[in-house]
């Protein structure tokens, strides 16, 4: 077959799939196209339930918008992990809050349990990247006004705001214990400082989840997790979402 004949057959196939409305065929086509454009990305099996979870997708679109779905799977995972530790002893915390979408999910799980949820953020974006952080991030990235977070979390009266650079405000929670800690600050130093503070305060069976562990854009966060847990008994579970977590022994 000539090149032109092949191209025409290809176009006919694409049009037929698009007109058919058959979801599985569209998925197969998208996979074939993506393989040509970006072969490093590996499609999963067709029909994962997350793609049909209308309630969860609605939550995501409300708090993260519809521009991209880059953290849908990570938020989904966080939401699932909360199920296994919400009832353990202790409060919850998030280091690096941005607009509060993950904190909203955490709050949903602990509402009515008599716990507090502690937020630690500069509300001025990232601190200055250090030598272990590569060159993806710039100081001030991901800045979000505290008022936006307060609006997003207004239905929860148990949220405690600790505004400031990590670790400056950790002392305000030094007497607390925690069942779940979400660390999402992208950089080495605040990730390490967060681990150093929260690890000993995390209840057995509690979870420390690092949002940035498995991304080539966040080498500092991975390095902080790896070096901190080198001398601890927990193993870091690295997820295909890019997150890494430990279950406290």
Does 125 participate in binding ligand SAM (rule CB under 6 A)?
Answer: yes
Does 186 participate in binding ligand SAM (rule CB under 6 A)?
Answer: yes
Distant-in-sequence contacts of 136-144, Cβ < 8 A, 24+ apart = 136/217, 136/218, 137/186, 137/187, 137/217, 137/218, 141/186, 142/96, 142/98, 142/186, 144/97, 144/98, 144/99
Which CB sits closer to ligand SAM, 111 or 144? 144
Closest residue to ligand SAM using C-beta atoms: 96
Q: Give the residue, chosen from 17, 81, 166, 209, that forms a contact with ligand SAM under the rule CB under 6 A.
A: 166
Q: Give the residue, chosen from 158, 165, 215, 229, that forms a contact with ligand SAM under the rule CB under 6 A.
A: 165
Does 144 participate in binding ligand SAM (rule CB under 6 A)?
Answer: yes
- Min CB(67)–ligand SAM separation in Å: 14
94-113 residues in contact with ligand SAM (CB under 6 A) are 94, 96-99, 101-102
Q: What residue ranges bind ligand SAM (CB under 6 A)? A: 94, 96-99, 101-102, 121-122, 125-127, 142-144, 165-166, 184-187, 190
């Amino acid at each position: 077959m000539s090149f032109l004949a092949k191209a025409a057959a290809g176009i006919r196939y694409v049009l037929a799939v698009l007109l058919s409305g058959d979801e599985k065929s569209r998925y197969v086509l998208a996979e074939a196209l993506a393989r040509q454009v970006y072969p490093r990305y590996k499609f999963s099996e067709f029909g994962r339930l997350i793609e049909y979870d209308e309630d969860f997708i609605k939550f995501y679109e409300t708090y993260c918008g519809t521009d991209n779905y880059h953290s849908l799977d990570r938020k989904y995972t966080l939401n699932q992990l909360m199920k296994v530790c919400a009832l353990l002893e202790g409060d919850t915390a998030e280091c690096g809050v941005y607009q509060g979408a993950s904190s909203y999910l955490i709050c949903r799980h602990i509402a009515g349990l008599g716990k507090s949820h502690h937020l630690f953020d500069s509300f001025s974006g990232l601190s200055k990247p250090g030598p272990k952080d590569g060159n993806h991030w710039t100081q001030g990235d991901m800045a979000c006004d505290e008022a936006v977070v307060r609006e997003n979390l207004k239905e929860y009266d148990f949220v405690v705001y600790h505004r400031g650079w990590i670790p400056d405000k950790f002392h305000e929670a030094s007497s607390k214990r925690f069942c779940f800690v979400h660390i999402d600050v992208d950089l080495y130093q605040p990730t390490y400082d967060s681990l150093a503070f929260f690890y000993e305060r995390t209840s057995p069976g509690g979870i420390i989840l690092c949002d940035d562990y498995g991304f080539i854009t966040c080498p500092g966060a991975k390095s902080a997790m790896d070096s901190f847990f080198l001398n601890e008994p927990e193993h870091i579970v690295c997820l295909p979402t890019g997150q890494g977590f430990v279950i406290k022994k």
